[in-house]
Every structure is written in structure tokens, then in C-alpha cells.
């Protein structure tokens, strides 16, 4: 998923070496966060794992499906809950099968803040965590991810379809049936023609995942090459029976997950075939956008035509309105949440405020896992990174402990020596760079080996400019990486850019960026959302800010492994192929993983029933605001 403001926005795996102790502020947060958890063996084990730099869900006493963040599922009377029925461990459903009418916690306004808006309101175009978190309460696909905590939230469940699809033995024919009686927020009924038109619109409007997610549908390639004549014959519907048939060119073991991604939501057939920008599109979820000023504010209210279909996919929600204000700095956001002016902030919590949050507002802090990483993209078409030896030298030289400290310490990050974060099946591989333990764990940088590779490459002395996001974490990492490059013999400099600009600038081949610092999150729980998205040939598009492969890397062997993994419907074989692909990608070192992050979620004292999804973060339709403190 494209980065936005979640870091400084998911994991299990094999035990790793503990991260460095971190800064004093990080240590202060780690100590203060002890107040967050009930005094149980399970909670203590989870917290110890988080502070030590181990993946949170690894604690021996913690059931993998029950504990996904350091806060766990708090009991009803614990801080962060205000009584009533919490989401269950079997699906995260609210009481009465998704119905909140007559519930004492229903009502009020959820107030959110971010430094900037997430851009377009078009759900088939927008690719930011900021607005996808909103869109999952406003739009529905045929299927979606269960609205539940932890790994339960990685399961695909029926949404506008009555059930999960019937799939032919060869994996090419997928049959759904439309759930009857559903309406858009403008009152129009949802029909199978809306479904067919919505899939065509993915290609007509130029969705950023049109090729990578949906390009295997029969007729998709013709739509990509000639959108004006797009027919998309691979999506067939029957109005009389409500049947929807999707035909694929090749088997795709991940197609169900791709259908659950928000770019495949169902919209009215009359929706314009282009990015609608600031104009909201009618949806089928419990909320609808009623006003939007990208420089100031977004307001959402209840959809009067919403009804619960599958309560695991959508519930009525508790709050009546969602107001999202833009423009505050991260420092001002923290202060505003402390004062109760806002219920949650999108942006990273400044490092100089972490100790304060842990010591004074522990009951309002939730430490959560992220399926995401910080990484370096090395442009293989720009010297000196057209040299494999130079790329591998950087992989050996980078100090991932230092990166952990610069992010905020071992409580909220850990060194990462693989491109796919821990917590995704088929991710974990032995580290092959830097100093490595007998168990295959990264233990530190290896500058001697890195310098030897640089000497062999003959590239020492060349100029290197590193593009970084102009935020505290990005600048800190940038200065460290510049110094590392200088130690390796390069004439290195840092070019900070506004985060919104740095992303597209680094990915556009016209700008000839040599190396850039960025971060990425899972679109769905598969290695392909990292390996393919960041290193796949089709994502190394020329002259485009939307090219997610900033390294411009295209390797036939890697493509073949990823293609075979995606096609395989055998779980063991698929995971083995992804591990081979991950090892090959690390060997080529066009992308250098640095750290896997955790998310510090800070909410107001009045917010209750907190629940967190690994893919969509805080579940906005599950939280409530205290009745006595509503406006």
C-alpha cells in the first residue's frame, strides 16, 4: 500500500535478536507502557516481547490469534473500553449481528486529525492508508476482510456477495451471487450491472492496481491498452439470477484477496469513468461523505439506506458523524488529542513526546503491529547502483540497529533483513547480509565486507544523492545513511523533500533518482504485495509518479518465481516459492529492508471499544465516544 502519514501504517515470525535499547525517550516509552496492560502473564509476555525487539505475537504465553498488539483485547472495564459488549475473538462483530440501534453507546461525533488530506475521494483510485481506513466504512466489494482484530482481520468474508465464490477446479471460473436488497447511499438499488460496470471502471479510470491485481481477468489487457473500447468479457452477469461470473486467463491463488481490496468496491454503473477527485461517489457502507475540502476538512454522516448484510463485513457503526480535520502539525495533533479536542491522530507521534504519552496517557496508547517496512530503493539504471557489488555492499553496511533507534527504539521497531515483513506466510528467510548468527539472524553491519565489494566494483568516489521524506525520522535516517555512504567512499548528500512529493518524485524515471528512503504496507497478507509491488517488472513503469518500483528493477528469474507462486493453489508450494523469491530479491539488493515498524496509536480519553485491524488500522465503525462527553 502506498505510504502516507502512518509511520513516524503489521507480525509474527521466528525470534530475532533483540533490538538496540534505543534512545532514552524510547526507553522511557517502553517503561511507561507497562501501565497499559493488565497484570497477567499473557500481557506481561507480550509487552516484554515488544520492548525486547521481538515480534509482538511471539510471546510464549500469547495465543497467536488472540494477541496482535501490545495492548491485546482489553476486558470491558480496562482502560480504553467504556463498558458494554466488545468485539469477540470469533469475528469482531458488534452486538445483535451488527445492529447498534438502541445501543447506549450509539451517537456522537468521532473527531480525527491529520497534517494533510489523503487526496482523491475516488475509492478505485486512492491508494493511501489514510483514506482507505475511511473507505472501508463507506464502500463494499463482493468480498472484504473481516472487520476484526489481529489475524482474524486477515480472513476474507462475503460482503455484497451472498457467500464466498464457487471456484472451478482449474481456478479460472469464479462464481458469485449478489446479495439482494442492498442500496447505494443515493437510494438506488445495487444490481449486477453495477458490478459489471465497476470492474470495467477499474480499467477505464486507471486504477493503480488495474494491471497488478486485476489484469488477469479475461479481456483486461485489451481494456488496459484501449480503455475507450473496453468490454471486459471476463465479467458476465445474469440479472434474473443475480449470478456474477469472473473468468481468469490463468489461475491466481491470491485473486480472492485482491477482490477484497478496496479498489474492487462496487459503485453505481453511472459513475464517471475517470478520477472523481473531490466529488464523493455513492457507496453501500454505513457512512457517506457529505462534504470535503482537501485543505481543511472531510465530514461523513450515516448512510440512511444502509442495512447490514454480513455483520462480519459491515456493522451499523456507533458514531453518527466522522469529522476529519487537516492542517495541524504532528506536535499540535498530540496536544489536541491530549486535550480531548480530537479522538485520534493519523500522523507519527514525535519522538520527543513518546515518554510523555507513556507516563501521562498510558491508558490512551495502543502499541500495534504493522505489516510494513522502511526500505532503501536503489535505482539499478543509475550509477553507482547499476553495479550489483555496490548494491550488496550497502546491504552489508547498513546498521539496522541504528535505524531502529532513529525510528524510536526497540518498543516500536525492529531490524529487518528480509523484504517481506514478519507475520506473512512465506516471508521468513535466513539473513545473508551483515553479520549473521548461526540461526540466520542479522546481528550487525559488516563494513569490512562492504568496503571490499566497493573496491572490487571500482565505483568509489562517485556522487550519490539520497532522497528522503522531510520528516524527523526520514531526516535522521537520511543523515545516518549519508555518513554511511561517505564511509564507503562515495561523495554523498541528502535531498529532503515533502513526503507527498518525495514518493512520486523518486519513482518517476524522468528524475533519475539514484537512491531513496521510503516505507510500504501490505495491501493484503501476501509476499506479493511487497516483492511484486516494489520489484515487479510491471510496476517499473517509465515516466510515471505512480510506478511503485522505484528501483526500476526487472529480473526474469524473480518474475518467474513470483508468477508461479501467484498461480499456485497449493499452500506449501506457494510459500516455498515465495521464500525463494524473497531470497533472490535480497541477493540482487535493488531494495534494502531496514526495519519493521509498530504503530503507536494515541486516542482520546472519551474513545472506547478500541479495535485494530492489521490491514486498516483502528476500526472506525467499531469505536464509540463516551456518552457523557459527547458534544
Among 241, 223, 239, which residue's Cα sits nearest to residue 231? 223
Element (H, E) at 451: helix 447-457
Q: Where a domain ends, among 286, 321, 356? A: 321
Within 166-283, strands assigned E span 166-167, 173-177, 235-238, 243-247
Q: What is the CATH number of the domain that holds 415?
A: 3.10.105.10
Q: Where a domain ends, among 321, 355, 382? A: 321
User: What do you get for the CA distance between the two ends of the chain, in Å?
Assistant: 35
Residue 83 lies in a domain: no
- Taking CA 129 as the corner, what is the angle to CA 126 and CA 132, rounded to the nearest 5 degrees? 55
Structure confidence by residue, pLDDT tens digits, 490-510 = 999 999 998 878 988 999 999
Structure confidence by residue, pLDDT tens digits, 509-562 = 999 999 999 999 999 999 999 999 999 998 898 998 878 999 999 999 999 999
Structure confidence by residue, pLDDT tens digits, 327-356 = 999 999 999 999 999 999 998 888 889 899
Same-domain check for residues 128 and 190: yes
Same-domain check for residues 126 and 273: yes
Structure confidence by residue, pLDDT tens digits, 159-194 = 999 999 999 999 999 999 999 999 999 999 999 999
Q: Which residue has the higher pLDDT, 630 or 421?
A: 421
Structural domain harbouring 525: 370-599
Same-domain check for residues 385 and 530: yes
Domains contained in the chain, number: 2
Same-domain check for residues 304 and 406: no
Residue 139 lies in a domain: yes
Give the residues across from 289 on adjacent strands: 300
Structure confidence by residue, pLDDT tens digits, 246-273 = 999 999 999 999 999 999 999 999 999 9
pLDDT classification of 232: cutoffs 50, 70, 90: very high
Task: Give the pLDDT score at 178.
Answer: 98
Residue 458 lies in a domain: yes
Structure confidence by residue, pLDDT tens digits, 32-84 = 444 333 332 333 333 233 323 333 322 222 222 322 233 333 322 333 333 33
- Taking CA 417 as the corner, what is the angle to CA 416 and CA 422, rounded to the nearest 5 degrees? 55
Among 433, 400, 407, 484, which residue's Cα sits nearest to residue 18? 400
User: Residues 6 or more apart from 355 whose CB is under 8 A from it?
Assistant: 24, 25, 28, 29, 32
Average pLDDT over residues 96-120: 93
Task: Give the pLDDT score at 96.
Answer: 57
User: Residues 6 or more apart from 135 whose CB is under 8 A from it?
Assistant: 123, 126, 262, 265, 283
- Quick one: 557 exposed, middle or buried, by C-beta within 10 A (0-12, 13-18, 19+)? exposed
Amino acid at each position: 500500500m502506498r505510504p502516507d502519514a502512518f509511520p513516524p501504517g503489521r507480525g509474527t515470525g521466528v525470534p530475532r535478536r533483540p533490538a538496540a535499547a534505543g534512545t532514552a525517550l524510547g526507553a522511557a516509552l517502553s517503561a511507561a507502557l507497562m501501565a497499559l496492560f493488565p497484570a497477567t502473564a499473557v500481557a506481561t509476555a507480550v509487552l516484554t516481547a515488544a520492548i525486547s525487539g521481538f515480534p509482538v505475537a511471539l510471546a510464549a504465553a500469547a495465543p497467536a490469534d488472540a494477541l496482535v498488539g501490545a495492548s491485546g483485547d482489553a476486558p470491558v472495564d480496562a482502560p480504553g473500553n467504556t463498558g458494554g459488549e466488545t468485539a469477540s475473538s470469533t469475528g469482531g462483530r458488534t452486538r445483535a449481528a451488527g445492529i447498534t440501534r438502541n445501543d447506549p453507546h450509539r451517537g456522537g461525533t468521532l473527531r480525527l486529525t491529520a497534517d494533510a488530506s489523503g487526496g482523491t475521494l475516488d475509492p478505485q483510485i486512492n491508494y493511501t492508508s489514510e483514506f482507505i481506513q475511511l473507505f472501508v466504512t463507506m464502500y463494499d466489494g463482493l468480498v472484504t476482510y473481516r472487520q476484526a482484530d489481529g489475524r482474524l482481520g486477515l480472513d476474507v468474508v462475503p460482503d455484497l456477495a451472498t457467500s464466498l465464490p464457487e471456484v472451478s477446479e482449474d481456478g479460472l471460473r469464479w462464481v458469485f451471487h449478489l446479495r439482494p436488497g442492498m442500496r447505494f447511499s443515493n437510494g438506488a438499488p445495487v444490481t449486477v450491472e453495477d458490478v459489471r460496470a465497476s470492474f470495467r471502471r477499474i480499467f477505464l479510470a486507471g486504477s493503480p492496481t488495474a494491471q497488478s491485481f486485476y489484469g488477469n481477468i479475461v479481456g483486461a489487457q485489451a481494456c488496459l491498452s484501449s480503455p475507450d473500447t473496453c468490454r471486459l468479457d471476463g465479467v458476465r452477469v445474469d440479472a434474473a439470477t443475480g449470478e456474477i461470473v469472473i473468468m481468469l486467463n490463468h489461475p491466481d491463488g491470491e485473486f480472492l484477496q485482491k477482490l477484497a481490496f478496496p479498489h474492487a468496491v462496487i459503485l453505481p454503473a453511472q459513475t464517471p469513468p475517470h478520477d472523481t477527485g473531490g466529488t464523493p461517489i455513492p457507496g453501500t457502507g454505513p457512512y457517506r461523505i457529505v462534504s470535503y475540502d482537501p485543505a481543511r476538512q472531510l465530514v461523513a454522516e450515516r448512510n440512511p439506506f444502509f442495512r447490514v448484510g454480513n455483520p462480519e463485513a459491515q456493522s451499523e457503526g456507533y458514531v453518527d458523524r466522522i469529522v476529519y480535520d487537516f492542517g495541524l502539525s504532528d506536535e499540535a495533533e498530540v496536544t489536541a488529542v491530549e486535550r480531548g479536542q480530537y479522538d485520534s491522530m493519523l500522523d507519527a507521534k514525535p519522538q520527543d513526546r513518546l515518554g510523555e504519552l507513556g507516563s501521562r496517557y498510558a491508558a490512551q496508547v495502543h502499541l500495534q503491529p504493522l505489516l510494513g517496512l522502511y526500505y532503501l530503493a536503489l535505482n539499478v539504471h543509475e550509477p553507482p547502483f547499476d553495479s550489483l557489488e555496490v548494491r550488496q555492499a550497502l546491504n552489508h553496511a547498513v546498521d539496522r540497529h541504528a535505524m531502529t533507534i532513529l525510528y524510536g527504539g526497540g518498543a516500536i521497531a525492529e531490524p529487518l533483513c528480509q523484504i517481506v515483513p514478519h507475520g506473512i506466510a512465506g516471508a521468513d528467510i535466513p539473513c545473508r547480509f551483515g553479520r549473521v548468527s548461526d540461526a540466520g539472524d542479522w546481528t550487525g553491519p559488516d563494513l569490512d565486507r562492504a568496503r571490499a565489494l566497493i573496491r572490487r566494483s571500482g565505483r568509489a568516489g562517485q556522487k550519490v544523492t539520497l532522497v528522503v521524506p522531510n520528516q524527523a525520522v526520514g531526516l535522521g535516517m537520511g543523515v545516518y545513511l549519508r555518513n554511511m555512504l561517505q564511509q564507503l567512499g562515495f561523495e554523498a548528500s541528502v535531498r529532503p523533500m515533502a513526503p507527498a512529493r518525495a514518493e512520486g518524485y523518486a519513482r518517476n524515471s524522468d528524475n533519475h533518482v539514484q537512491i531513496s528512503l521510503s516505507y510500504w504496507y501490505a495491501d493484503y497478507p501476501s509476499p506479493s504485495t511487497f516483492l511484486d509491488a516494489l520489484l515487479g517488472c510491471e510496476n517499473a513503469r517509465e515516466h510515471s509518479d505512480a510506478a511503485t518500483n522505484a528501483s526500476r528493477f526487472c529480473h526474469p528469474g524473480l518474475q518467474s518465481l513470483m508468477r508461479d507462486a501467484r498461480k499456485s493453489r497449493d499452500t506449501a508450494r506457494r510459500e516455498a516459492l515465495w521464500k525463494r523469491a524473497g531470497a533472490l530479491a535480497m541477493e540482487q539488493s535493488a531494495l534494502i529492508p531496514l526495519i519493521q515498524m509498530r504503530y503507536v496509536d494515541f486516542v482520546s480519553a472519551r474513545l472506547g471499544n478500541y479495535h485494530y485491524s492489521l490491514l486498516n488500522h483502528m476500526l472506525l465503525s467499531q469505536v464509540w465516544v463516551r456518552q457523557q462527553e459527547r458534544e
